[in-house]
Amino acid sequence: MGLFEKFKSIIYKKETNKEEAKEREAYEKGLAKTRTEFVSELSVLGHKFTKVTDEYFDELENILIMADIGVNTVMKFMARLKTRVKNENITSPKYLQEVIIDELFIIYVSGESLSDKININSDGPTVILMVGVNGVGKTTTIGKLAYKYQKEGKKVMLIAGDTFRAGAVEQLKEWADKTNSLFYGKSNTDPAGVIYDGLVEAKKQNVSLVLIDTAGRLQNKTNLMKELEKINKVIGTHIPNAPHETLLVIDAATGQNGILQAESFKEITNITGIVLTKLDGTAKGGIVLAIKEDVNIPVKFIGLGEGMEDLKTFDIEAYIYGLFKDMFKDGK
């Protein structure tokens, strides 16, 4: 069964459990802005053309680029699509819409296998280092992750490694209090030293998961690289093979600028996953596909609203469903 047919069966036969239904509903709601613009354009295209032509491909290409899927990704995707159209002798734009959905899914899951799961340490605390420029929602994301893992029964500590930005330590402390997490932080002092002392305390308190905030300065990459190298060394000295994850937080609304941030941070430190915030507030939901193709880093979490439970573990099938739900209905 193709992805298109699978999702049609979910919608019409209700072949899904309550938890899956709840998750798909969150994606559906969170991707509404992207879906309204993107899918409506695709639907218009399907009605405008009676046959698949070069002009159809030109317009499709523009629609994909406007959804912020990224020029490189779109070019590769169009090449794959044209090959499939030729090999399978596809002439119907209506049928081609189903192929488009399958191919966008394939583009994310093909190639190097990227895990969207968090690497949990089986011996001692799991350490997650959070990086990203200021203003992307990094501290709020840490709070939401703390809430998520607390609900799963983990003992969580937040460490404030962003020590020089005004109010940063206090802001993280508020999130620690709000989520019943332990906290360690000091203002206006060496971040690596604070993280060192925080990890000593985390081990003492038998914490199972540590979330570390860091400075979001990207203007001087050399200084930030040195700071993150020092932080990584300190973490690794305390806990072998840590940090177990280094998650880069990106504001989805920044579109292609988010890709540039990912490329810059990838040069500075070992990024293991992306957290895309504010995906519900933008029509640029295609950035998920662009990130995978352009920087080859998996999206591990996405923000689909402002609530504490609106930070979701990324699920490519739920994402494709949220993006194309109206087309699955049309294809009944």
pLDDT above 60: residue 297: yes
How far is Cα 192 from Cα 317, in angstroms, rounded to an integer?
39
What pLDDT sits at residue 1? 45
Structure token digits, residue 89: 């002798």
CB atoms within 10 A of CB 156: 27
Q: What pLDDT is recorded for position 185?
A: 97
Q: Is the pLDDT of residue 302 over 80?
A: yes
At residue 26, φ and ψ (nearest 5 deg) are: -65, -40
Mean per-residue pLDDT, 46-51: 88
CATH 1.20.120.140 intervals, the chain: 3-114+321-330
Read off the pLDDT band of 329 (50, 70, 90). Answer: low
Compute the mean pLDDT over every residue in the chain, rounded to the nearest whole number: 88
pTM: 0.90
256 burial via Cβ count (<10 Å: 0-12, 13-18, 19+): middle
Considering only 58-67, 156-165, 228-237, 285-294, which range has the smallest mean pLDDT? 285-294
22 C-beta neighbours (distance < 10 Å), count = 10
Taking alpha carbons only, the member of 157, 172, 144 closest to residue 206 is: 157
Work out the pLDDT band at 322, boundaries 50, 70, 90: confident
CATH assignment of 3-114+321-330, given 3.90.1150.10, 1.20.120.140, 3.40.50.150, 1.10.3720.10? 1.20.120.140
pLDDT computed for residue 330 by the predictor: 53
Report whether 207 contacts 121 (CB < 8 A): no
Residue span(s) of the chain under CATH 3.40.50.300 come to 126-315
pLDDT in the model for residue 7: 53
Q: At what angle do helices 32-48 and 93-109 cross, to 10 degrees?
A: 140
Cα 275 from Cα 148, distance rounded (Å) = 14
Which of the pair, 145 or 98, is modelled with greater confidence? 145
CATH number of 126-315: 3.40.50.300
Residue 12: predicted pLDDT: 42
